[in-house]
Amino acid sequence: MPKYYCDYCKSYLTHDKISVRKLHLLGKNHIKLYCSYYQTKATQLGIWDPLETSYSLDLAYLASPAPGPDEYATAKQREKERLLVKRAEDVEESFCLPPPPTLHGMPAPPPAALKHTEEYVNLINVHAARLNPEI
């Protein structure tokens, strides 16, 4: 069986199987040599100069704390949503549809099926309140 030669690592692999190649290509040493090869090619052609690249990351950016939510604004938003959303107690019983009929000989659907429709209506109201806060 022929051996596989890696041009970047300048070495032969013991087996020419796909699994061995994949493991080699994911290896730390191969990736380092692969990057350095193309870095030297880019510098030779004048495409890339490592001294001219400016990094947007600096020490002040790395040391800055993670942004947090403005607690007052989120509390006000939640209060508006609570006022706009109909609660389960506020929903009229006449609005509730009867369960769909079942086939002859089949058992009735579980009572949770009706409860899920009330939850879906509540979630739709919350979503609508978030999209349109001025309603």
* pLDDT at residue number 97: 64
Lowest-pLDDT range, 7-16, 17-26, 61-70? 61-70
pLDDT in the model for residue 9: 92
What does the mean pLDDT of the chain come to?
Answer: 77
Residues 45 and 75 in one domain: no
Residue-level pLDDT at 117: 72
Are 89 and 120 in a shared domain?
yes
The total domain count for the chain is: 2
Mean pLDDT of 31-46: 91
| Domain match, 88 and 41 both | no
**110: which 2 tokens?**
């579980």
The answer to the question of residue 125 being in a domain is yes
Mark whether 76 and 34 lie in a shared domain.
no
In a domain? residue 56 = no
> Would you state the structure tokens that stand for residue 9, as one six-digit string?
């690592």
> pLDDT at residue 20 above 80?
yes
Residues 77 and 115 in one domain: yes
Distances (CA, A) of 127 to 44, 71, 124: 56, 20, 5
The whole-number pLDDT of residue 80 equals 78
Question: What φ, ψ does residue 105 adopt, rounded to 5°?
Answer: 90, -5
Residue 55 lies in a domain: no
| Residue 121 pLDDT greater than 60, yes or no | yes
Residue among 132, 131, 126 nearest 86 (CA)? 126
Within a domain: 10: yes
Q: Is residue 121 a part of any domain in this protein?
A: yes
Establish if 93 belongs to a structural domain.
yes
Question: Residue 83 sits in which domain range?
Answer: 71-131
**Interatomic CA distance for residues 45 and 39, integer angstroms:** 10
